[in-house]
Homo-oligomer: A and B are copies of this chain.
Amino acid sequence: MNLLFDFYQSLLTQKQSKYMSLYYLDDFSLGEIAEEFDISRQAVYDNIKRTEAMLEEYESKLKLLSKFEKRSELVAQMKQAIESNATPEEIMSMLDSLEKLD
């Protein structure tokens, strides 16, 4: 959820973003967030659950996290290949795969 929040934070409202940040990044409890904003614990819970569902839906549509992970893995493989003295052709072919991910 932290990673999804990272990728799609810009699409959330300020309030959604604030609650998520306190809950997931600053490790506040629902009760602490409720107190901070003078609302019910249930309201905080509902907001966070709705936001989580939104983030999952954005990921199902845009797949930013999944694509990021695939790119990262390929870049790590390329670095390893270079360290193991891969041929230019091998590196070139991995670059082709990287381009195809987009």
Contact = CB atoms under 8 A, between A and B. Distances in A.
A102 interface: yes
A92 B102 contact: no
A51 to B, nearest CB: 16
A95 interface: yes
Tell me which of A92, A95, A99 has the highest count of chain B C-beta atoms within 10 A of its own C-beta.
Answer: A95
A95 B68 contact: no
Contact of A82 (B8, B62, B79, B88): B88
A75 B21 CA distance: 34
8 contacts: A8-B62, A11-B58, A62-B62, A72-B102, A75-B95, A75-B99, A78-B95, A85-B88
